[in-house]
Structure 1
Amino acid sequence: MQTASSHSIYHDMFIKSTPQKVFDAITQPEHLNNWWTLKCSGSPVEGNEYNFYFTPEYDWYGKVSKAENGEAFHIKMTNADEDWNPTSFGFDLTEFEGGVDVKFWHVDWPECNHHFRRSSYCWAILLQGLKNYVEKGIIIPFEERE
Structure 2
Amino acid sequence: MADIHHKFPVNASISKVFECISTPEGLDIWWGKSTKGIPKLNQIYQFDFGPGYLWEAKVSQFVENE
Partner in structure 1 of residue 43 of structure 2: 48
**CA offset at residue 8 of structure 1?**
3.0
Partner in structure 1 of residue 19 of structure 2: 24
**TM value normalised by structure 1:** 0.42
**CA offset at residue 13 of structure 1?**
2.1
Q: Distance in 2 between matches of 1:9 and 1:62?
A: 15
Q: Which has the higher contact order (CA 8 A, sep 6+)?
A: 1
Partner in structure 2 of residue 33 of structure 1: 28
User: Does residue 32 of structure 2 align to residue 10 of structure 1?
Assistant: no
**TM value normalised by structure 2:** 0.86
Q: Output aligned runs, 1:1-146, within 5 Å.
A: 7-71=2-66
Q: Which consecutive segments of 4 or more residues in structure 1 shift more than 3 A?
A: none
Unaligned runs of 5+ in 2: none
Which structure is higher in strand share?
1
> How much identity, in percent, do the aligned residues show?
35
Q: How big is the alpha-carbon RMSD for the aligned residues of Structure 1 and Structure 2?
A: 1.3
Unaligned runs of 5+ in 1: 1-5, 72-146
Structure number with larger C-alpha Rg: 1
**CA offset at residue 16 of structure 1?**
1.3
What code does the residue aligned with 2:4 have? I
Give aligned pairs, total.
66
